[in-house]
Structure 1
Amino acid sequence: MTKEPADVIVVGAGPVGLLTALGLSQAGLDVTVVEAEPALNDSPRAISYLWFVFDLLDRLGIMSDVDNAGLRSTTGMTLRVLRTGEQITLSFDVLEDLTPRPYVIELGQDRFGAIVLEHLLARPGASVHWNTRVTGLTQDDDEVRLTAEGPDGPHEYRSRWVVGADGASSAIRQALGLGYAGTTWPERFVATNVRYDFEAYGYALTNLVIDPALGAVVAKIDDTGLWRVTYAEDLDLPVESVLDRMPAYFAKTLPGSQEYELVHHSPYRMHQRAAETFRAGRVLLAGDAAHATNPTGGLGLTSGLLDADVLYPALAAVIRGEAPEPVLDRYSDDRRRAFLEIASPQASELKRLVYHSTDPDRLESDLAGLRAVAADAAKRRESQLALARLRTPQLVPVTP
């Protein structure tokens, strides 16, 4: 069965794909989203939305919903050295000079996706096809054709353009034959959602717990007492018995009572990889399909949202004849450079600090630098501005 042609098909109904689709739809285009899973993925994934993505969410009309659903982290990020008890807080007070929203929002990726999906499905000309797995791709100078297996059999989709936002194992990237160079880390991350009163033991809303054996990211993600704890374990340990080992991990790391409620967990591999290009003809890549990083610091989702920020206005302008196609090459070059030069190295350094600080001298040097930043507002401001360089310039005029 051949589906009616769309202006754009977005493959992947994660946050980046849905946000890109929403932007394209608001630009007046017919957009079809194709997703292999039967529904939004509710496993523990990214949770942090940094201050410099809020302009994008505001422009797309979802900022208030995200703000209301999420938990504002206003005080900063605390680094905790597990073995010594030292705490270093990098305050967010400097954000008051940089943004009208001087905070980070913590919100489960699934809940964020549900907000975007609701807005998308309310728009004419937008549709989402679940349980539909892409099996092939061909293109010419005029259109892209996708073959896919859906709930009622094989389909062919035709569109003027395709955006592949279907994750690190992207079927679209593989169909294009694009390389995905980089590294797969030799550890497994285990993301857990637990109910435990970390605040009673002095934890901030966002914490990096530094320890070479027991390091973790610990962040509160809603107002019901739900926290995300993400730790690492040896990849040689069987993934099937993650739950059997989990109580021993929490017994060593929980600061007080050992009573906790495990709500959800997800073990997964970590990568530092980028596609060789984010554009191949009429197909563009965004999010993890284009680049993947370990999640320490929240730079993976942030990078993907910033891909969408630049991609949807540029692609809409090209389709409407308001911009030449080479702006999409600029999208590819700019976003790839931002990932390789900023997101990937920073996430790798944070991962090393939190999970692999085995050298006491280097750890002390790292902590000395962090203490200096914590004590100096100018340095804290510069660190936030350096992180915000993950943003790349808009390629076409965009209405705020």
Structure 2
Amino acid sequence: MQHQQQVIVAGAGPTGLLTALGLAQQGVSVTVVERGSALQDTPRAIVYHWSTLDGLSRLGLLDKASAAGFLKQDYAYRVRDTGEIIPYGLQALEGKVARPFNLHLGQGALAAVVLRELQKFDNARVLFDHPISGVKQDDAGVTVTFSGPGAETVLSAQWLVGADGAGSTVRRVLDLGFDGMTWPERFVATNIRFPDDREGWAQSTFYVDDVYGAIIAKIDEDGDHGTWRYTYMEDAALPADSIDDRMPAFLSAVFGPEVAVGIEIVATSPYRMHQRAASSFRAGRVLLAGDAAHATNPTGGLGLTMGLFDAYALIETLGAVALGQADDSVLTAYARERRAAFVEKASPRASANKRLLFHSSDPVARDRDLEMFRRMSHDREFAAEVLRFTKTLESPSLLADRIGRPARADERENVL
């Protein structure tokens, strides 16, 4: 029997797969199309803020994702120039939120967890090797054309979700702008293996320096040699094909030559950083989500955080529209609310995080910026107030005022 999809989701990353799973759980027929031949597992996001875990729990994924990764509370800033270590953590949220911890899990591993759940639904399917070549729409629906060996293939649906990354084909073929700027530097995300249980190294460490600045976060707890994500920045004018030749100098400067010599480099992924947002997150029957809608530098882990919150909002709004429970004005509200959350909150905060971590040559400005974290290390109530920021990036229920649906439990109870 031919699969009749109500929704097509472009992109089999966490944002697209989560959206598809949430829709399938409501009985919506959904097809995920992915241009690649398999899930991508290059070094990218690994930390999921406490505020995103309520949504994973609602989807029945939190226990499975936690088993695949691990939960943690600790952070630290390390200042190269002075040797200062500023520890703080999510313990300040205990008694205030249901889940006062973050989840550490590679982005590809999370996608695999979601895919396994999605494959349990008869009203959902995932098609790999389906690069989009065209999108057409009218009042009745959307038609998506795919290129490939041999003849073109075509799928039709009522709605299309573009969650196909910062280079989104969906966004491009609809001629939606991608407003903002590209940073002049190159980020290099690496997976490295080495034993690092030295004092002062939290499981998420921000190494502050204008040359050797880095984000260092533990990915797994595999025996004596854990896997860590080490992300640093370099001049984008340097040749990308010789990154491996330059990396030992960075590792030695940060960890010391005696440790660096024993580090195993597992994977490397260089990429350009952006602060950009699509001119609109809705174009008729097409919605954008995740990096297709917005792109940010990764300092502070706000990129996929925003993608998850996009997915949660789409699951609620698009699900209601597809099931005839709400009119499509709620999708316009989705597009407006999610764009504002990125432009007004997430992007400015990520930019400020990057400036502190990687552009700290002015010791007076650096000292001023670090004072907030010093206070967080000893003032529990202040720390809880600061840590609440990521929860403000989630859109409240967009249906509560429209169809009388009650607010989510986490909106009523799991906030500071």
Partners of 2:321 and 2:328 within 8 A in 1? yes
- In the TM superposition, residue 152 of structure 1 has moved relative to its aligned partner by 5.3
- 2:338 counterpart residue number: 335
Map residues 282-301 of structure 1 onto 2, 5 A cutoff: 282-301=285-304
Please give the alpha-carbon distance, in whole angstroms, between the structure 1 residues aligned to 2:75 and 2:348: 19
- 1:257 counterpart residue number: 259
After superposition, what is the alpha-carbon deviation per residue over 1:42-94, rounded to whole angstroms, capped at 9, x for unaligned?
Answer: 110000111111111111111100111112112x2100101221111122111
Please give the alpha-carbon distance, in whole angstroms, between the structure 1 residues aligned to 2:83 and 2:70: 26
What's the C-alpha RMSD, in Å, of the aligned pairs?
A: 1.3
Please give the alpha-carbon distance, in whole angstroms, between the structure 1 residues aligned to 2:321 and 2:148: 30
Which segments of structure 1 move beyond 4 Å, counting only runs of 4 or more?
none
- 1:14 counterpart residue number: 13
After superposition, what is the alpha-carbon deviation per residue over 1:305-341, rounded to whole angstroms, capped at 9, x for unaligned?
Answer: 0001111111011111111110000001111111111
Partners of 2:76 and 2:200 within 8 A in 1? no
- In the TM superposition, residue 201 of structure 1 has moved relative to its aligned partner by 4.8
Among 163, 166, 174, the residue aligned to 1:165: 163
- 1:203 counterpart residue number: 201
Partners of 1:13 and 1:33 within 8 A in 2? yes
Matched letter for residue 370 of structure 2 = L
- In the TM superposition, residue 373 of structure 1 has moved relative to its aligned partner by 2.6
- 1:87 counterpart residue number: 85
Partners of 1:131 and 1:151 within 8 A in 2? no
Please give the alpha-carbon distance, in whole angstroms, between the structure 2 residues aligned to 1:197 and 1:103: 23
- 1:241 counterpart residue number: 242
- In the TM superposition, residue 181 of structure 1 has moved relative to its aligned partner by 0.4
Partners of 1:4 and 1:158 within 8 A in 2? no
Matched letter for residue 7 of structure 1 = Q
Matched letter for residue 22 of structure 1 = L
Please give the alpha-carbon distance, in whole angstroms, between the structure 2 residues aligned to 1:55 and 1:248: 41
Map residues 93-104 of structure 1 onto 2, 5 A cutoff: 93-104=91-102
- 1:322 counterpart residue number: 325
After superposition, what is the alpha-carbon deviation per residue over 1:246-284, rounded to whole angstroms, capped at 9, x for unaligned?
Answer: 112112111442210011110011000000110110000
Please give the alpha-carbon distance, in whole angstroms, between the structure 2 residues aligned to 1:27 and 1:205: 37
- In the TM superposition, residue 374 of structure 1 has moved relative to its aligned partner by 2.2
After superposition, what is the alpha-carbon deviation per residue over 1:282-311, rounded to whole angstroms, capped at 9, x for unaligned?
Answer: 000000000000011110000000001111
Partners of 1:49 and 1:106 within 8 A in 2? yes
- 2:228 counterpart residue number: 227
- In the TM superposition, residue 174 of structure 1 has moved relative to its aligned partner by 0.7
User: Quick check: 1:218 aligned with 2:216?
Assistant: yes
TM superposition score normalised by structure 2: 0.93
Among 344, 349, 352, the residue aligned to 1:346: 349
- Runs (5+) with no aligned partner, structure 1: none
User: Quick check: 1:302 aligned with 2:305?
Assistant: yes
- 2:142 counterpart residue number: 144
Matched letter for residue 143 of structure 2 = R
- In the TM superposition, residue 151 of structure 1 has moved relative to its aligned partner by 5.3
Identity of aligned residues (%): 47
SS in structure 1 at match of 2:158? strand
Matched letter for residue 176 of structure 2 = L
Matched letter for residue 103 of structure 1 = F
Stretch deviating more after TM superposition (12-21 or 238-247) = 238-247
- In the TM superposition, residue 171 of structure 1 has moved relative to its aligned partner by 0.4
Partners of 1:9 and 1:163 within 8 A in 2? yes
Number of equivalenced pairs: 397
- 1:66 counterpart residue number: 65
User: Quick check: 1:51 aligned with 2:50?
Assistant: yes
Matched letter for residue 237 of structure 1 = L
- 2:381 counterpart residue number: 378
User: Quick check: 1:366 aligned with 2:369?
Assistant: yes
- Runs (5+) with no aligned partner, structure 2: 400-404, 410-416
TM superposition score normalised by structure 1: 0.97
SS in structure 1 at match of 2:220? coil
- In the TM superposition, residue 4 of structure 1 has moved relative to its aligned partner by 4.8
Matched letter for residue 19 of structure 2 = T
After superposition, what is the alpha-carbon deviation per residue over 1:82-115, rounded to whole angstroms, capped at 9, x for unaligned?
Answer: 1221111122111112322211111000100000
Please give the alpha-carbon distance, in whole angstroms, between the structure 1 residues aligned to 2:273 and 2:196: 26
Please give the alpha-carbon distance, in whole angstroms, between the structure 2 residues aligned to 1:5 and 1:141: 18
Stretch deviating more after TM superposition (154-163 or 91-100) = 91-100
Partners of 1:132 and 1:151 within 8 A in 2? no
After superposition, what is the alpha-carbon deviation per residue over 1:190-228, rounded to whole angstroms, capped at 9, x for unaligned?
Answer: 000001122235311110000000000001110110000
Please give the alpha-carbon distance, in whole angstroms, between the structure 2 residues aligned to 1:174 and 1:21: 22
Partners of 2:50 and 2:102 within 8 A in 1? yes
Partners of 1:8 and 1:29 within 8 A in 2? yes
Matched letter for residue 180 of structure 2 = G
